[in-house]
């Protein structure tokens, strides 16, 4: 097991699972893994059957225990009855779910995904992790010990070629930001919106937690491009 590669796949509705996936990706980079982070619907689904390196799945819960939009195609694909029961016998995987235990169907997508991967012959690297918003530390209450266990197991299988890159060293940025002076049209042009979503402009972002608090919580205010199309929402959306 000399190939130091990791594939991290996420299903994210509001961005938390995506952020978690990239956090894991940064930790993998510090441990000298070659890492790729993608949504589950981005990846070549057939490649999962021939992957020889570990795959980390991170998925959140939306609605009443439903999977996020950007993992629906992947989920339908691996549910196919024509897939042989041992199709994933060469896959080593780990699953971490993000949810809220105050809901009846707590972390259902992660639980079902983990069970299906195992049904198809996959081998779990560590037990499934269940992040819970109700924990006094939030999702980190489950994520931090789960990651500690994950890296212990992976580094036993893939020993470090050199010391872990310290936190003081930042990885290369994943995007570039340019500041402009003039006002521009913020239209998304021909971008296709997901049904039920609305185009809005961010007009305000205030940090709600103290500057020295470990959680960076912001209050965002948005301005709708079409004020006549007021979205319906509920607490927790």
- DSSP assignments along 24-77, one per residue: HHHHHHHTT-EEEEEETTTS-GGGGGT--S-EEEEEE-BTTTBPPGGGHHHHHH
Q: What's residue 143's pLDDT?
A: 96
pLDDT tens digit sequence for 199-230: 777 888 898 888 887 677 888 888 876 666 66
Phi (first) and psi of residue 192, to 5 degrees:
-85, 120
Q: How far from the centroid of its chain's Cα atoms is residue 5's Cα? A: 18
Please give the span between the terminal C-alpha atoms of the chain, in angstroms, as a whole number: 42
Point out the residues of the chain with pLDDT beneath 50.
Answer: 1
* Separation CA 17–CA 97 (nearest Å): 8
Q: At what angle do helices 140-157 and 16-30 cross, to 10 degrees?
A: 30
pTM beyond 0.85: the answer is no
Q: What's residue 65's pLDDT?
A: 87
Handedness of CA 166, 26, 143, 5 (dihedral sign): negative
Q: What's residue 234's pLDDT?
A: 65
Query: Which structure tokens are listed for 136?
Result: 């006094």
Handedness of CA 9, 43, 236, 189 (dihedral sign): positive
């Amino acid at each position: 097991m000399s190939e130091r590669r990791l594939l991290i796949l996420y299903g994210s509705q509001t961005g938390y699972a995506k952020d978690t996936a990239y956090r894991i990706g940064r930790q993998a980079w510090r441990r000298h893994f070659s890492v790729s982070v993608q949504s589950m619907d981005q990846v070549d689904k057939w490649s999962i059957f021939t992957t020889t390196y570990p795959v980390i799945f991170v998925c959140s819960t939306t609605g009443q225990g439903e999977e996020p939009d950007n993992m629906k195609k992947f989920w339908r694909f691996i549910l196919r009855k024509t897939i042989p029961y041992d199709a994933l016998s060469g896959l080593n995987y780990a699953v971490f779910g993000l949810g809220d235990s105050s809901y009846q169907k707590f972390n259902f997508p992660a639980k079902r995904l983990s069970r299906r991967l195992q049904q198809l012959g996959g081998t779990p690297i560590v037990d499934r992790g269940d992040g819970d918003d109700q924990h006094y530390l939030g999702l980190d209450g489950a994520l931090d010990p789960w990651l500690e266990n994950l890296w212990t197991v992976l580094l036993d299988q893939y020993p470090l070629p050199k010391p872990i890159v310290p936190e003081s060293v930042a990885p290369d940025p994943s995007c570039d930001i340019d500041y402009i002076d003039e006002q521009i049209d913020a239209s998304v042009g021909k971008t296709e919106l997901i049904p039920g979503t609305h185009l809005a402009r961010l007009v305000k972002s205030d940090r709600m937690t103290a500057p020295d608090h470990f959680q960076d919580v912001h209050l965002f205010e948005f301005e709708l491009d079409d004020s006549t199309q007021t979205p319906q929402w509920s607490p927790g959306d």
